[in-house]
Amino acid sequence: MSEIIIAAQALTEDGWRNNVAITIEGGRVEAIEPSDAPPTVDILLPAPGNLHSHAFQRAMAGLTEQQTGNDNFWSWRALMYRFLEALTPDDVEVIASGLMMEMLEAGYAALGEFHYLHNAPGGTPYDNPAELAARIAAAAGTTGMGLTLLPVLYMQGGLDGRALEGGQRRFASTEDSFAALMEGAAQAIAGLPDDTRLGVAPHSLRAVPADAIARVAARPGPKHIHVAEQTAEVEEVLAHTGARPMAHLASLVDLSPEWTLIHCTHGTAAELGEAARAGAVAGLCPITESNLGDGIIEMAAVQEAGGRFGIGSDSNVRISLAEELRTLDYSQRLARRARNPLAGPGQSSGRTLYQGACLGAAQALARGAGTIAPGNLADLVALDGAAPSLAGLTGDRVLDAHIFAGDDGAVRDVWSAGRHVVRGGRHVARDRIAPAFMATLRRLRTVA
Ligand code: ZN
């Protein structure tokens, strides 16, 4: 299946080019050539992946915004556990389909799903240990989302080895049951397009014993872990191991370009620099980290070490790529009391943020993507040059305005590995996906 896009402006691996024809063949960019044909799109960009999500949490968005006394991450988690008791496999698939539709409409071409809901309520395994992983895979098939599935190993309630309780039992695996889950997950994605990837995710230093982290890290493919998100977590790891979380992780596994460290909010400058030099991606979730009150990462340490970063939507409280990037930049401005802190001298913040997120997510999700270049997956997004925020702009100013002055409403078309699934700002299957999504949200919100 081939398609030719004629772009008035395109951000290619060689920078901005005007009036180019981009040929897509077999899901990849085949050629980029000058063209004098009338443009079919105004502004063509690489579409980044969203490197971190827990799909089912989309249904909880906005439900945890009341002050409950000592309100923090842990009170949020209490609501999540109540909510979990009500979720069926059908719910998981419907929510994931609705969420992926929203992500594609926001300009993401791929998703790293950090999938940790494995068991039935109460913790009983399903007959198929990969039942819920298969539901995530089915949602990717329904929506055309490029999927990197990251089944999560979650074994204990804390570093003292205490058992999982309540809603956490739906996450539980042993190393043996996890091996069966991985086999089932591989089968579940076998029917999906060949840009689909399978990785692995030890949940956190709290939830997986040290020796099991080392063993699961020996599996092939991308490896993701939550690390140093909360100060309470830093204290718990320090108390039990004598090391801070990122240093402890680095003592257990070889950090490499296959690793993505989700959050790493409370990494020290030295720890962040070491992980960046090892090639690991900093997996930032700016809206969720703001919503949970986590803290602000020291991005200067990542950048000075030449590190990569990418964006994830984590709790999925908002699905907005532009807002994620803006929130990241604004947190750094507030922390440093400076404007444009991530851009180098003479560079654009928008370009720095957008291009960085494309490259970091491509690495984190093991997708040959991140730039518009021959041979890369055709993960592409077209913006409407007539959107009020973008009218009259060219080059990097388009990215500055898209992120700081506009929103995802300028997204017109999205291709995931050449699958043209958003047209005219709407997902091609929205009329089929949205009604079930809305019905499920309404029903679940009565229990929360
Ligand atoms: Zn997460």
Query: Do the beta carbons of residue 413 and residue 144 sit within 8 Å?
Result: no
Measure 35 CA to ligand 1 centroid, in angstroms.
Answer: 44
Measure 394 CA to ligand 1 centroid, in angstroms.
Answer: 36
Distance, in Å, from the CA atom of 135 to the CA atom of 185, rounded to the nearest integer, reads 10
Task: Single out the residue of 179, 222, 166 nearest to residue 52, CA to CA.
Answer: 222
Measure 431 CA to ligand 1 centroid, in angstroms.
Answer: 30
Active site residue 248: no
Measure 389 CA to ligand 1 centroid, in angstroms.
Answer: 32
Distance, in Å, from the CA atom of 260 to the CA atom of 371, rounded to the nearest integer, reads 19
Q: Spot the catalytic one: 54, 203, 226, 263.
A: 263
- The helix (run of H) or strand (run of E) holding residue 374 is none
The pLDDT, as a whole number, for residue 218 is 96
| Category of 222 on φ-ψ map: left (φ > 0), alpha (ψ -120 to 50) or beta | beta
Active site residue 314: yes
CA dihedral defined by 154, 100, 221, 294, rounded to 10 degrees?
Answer: -50
Measure 123 CA to ligand 1 centroid, in angstroms.
Answer: 20
The pLDDT, as a whole number, for residue 320 is 98
Distance, in Å, from the CA atom of 264 to the CA atom of 271, rounded to the nearest integer, reads 9
Q: Spot the catalytic one: 42, 91, 195, 314.
A: 314
Distance from chain centroid for Cα 176: 28
The overall longest dimension of the chain from CA atoms, in Å, is: 66
Distance, in Å, from the CA atom of 353 to the CA atom of 269, rounded to the nearest integer, reads 20
Measure 131 CA to ligand 1 centroid, in angstroms.
Answer: 21
Tell me, what amino acid is at 252?
L
Distance, in Å, from the CA atom of 435 to the CA atom of 8, rounded to the nearest integer, reads 36
Distance, in Å, from the CA atom of 260 to the CA atom of 311, rounded to the nearest integer, reads 11
**Could you tell me which CATH class the domain 48-371 is placed in?**
alpha beta
Cα-based angle 140, 146, 148 (whole degrees, multiple of 5)? 90
Query: Do the beta carbons of residue 422 and residue 410 sit within 8 Å?
Result: no
Measure 426 CA to ligand 1 centroid, in angstroms.
Answer: 27
Tokens of 448: 């929360």
Distance, in Å, from the CA atom of 373 to the CA atom of 93, rounded to the nearest integer, reads 34
Tokens of 311: 């964006």
pLDDT digit string (tens) for the chain, length 448 residues: 699 999 999 999 999 999 999 999 999 999 999 999 999 999 999 999 999 999 999 999 998 887 776 656 666 677 777 788 889 999 999 999 999 999 999 999 999 999 999 999 999 999 999 999 999 999 999 999 999 999 999 999 999 999 998 888 999 999 999 999 999 999 999 999 999 999 999 999 999 999 999 999 999 999 999 999 999 999 999 999 999 999 999 999 999 999 999 999 999 999 999 999 999 999 999 999 999 999 999 999 999 999 999 999 999 999 999 999 999 999 999 999 999 999 999 999 999 999 999 999 999 999 999 999 999 999 999 999 999 999 999 999 999 999 999 989 999 999 999 999 999 999 999 999 999 999 999 999 887 6
User: Which residues have a Cβ under 8 Å from the Cβ of 66 and sit 6 or more positions away?
Assistant: none
Measure 311 CA to ligand 1 centroid, in angstroms.
Answer: 12
The pLDDT, as a whole number, for residue 72 is 62
User: In the chain, helix, strand, coil percent, each to 5?
Assistant: 40, 20, 40
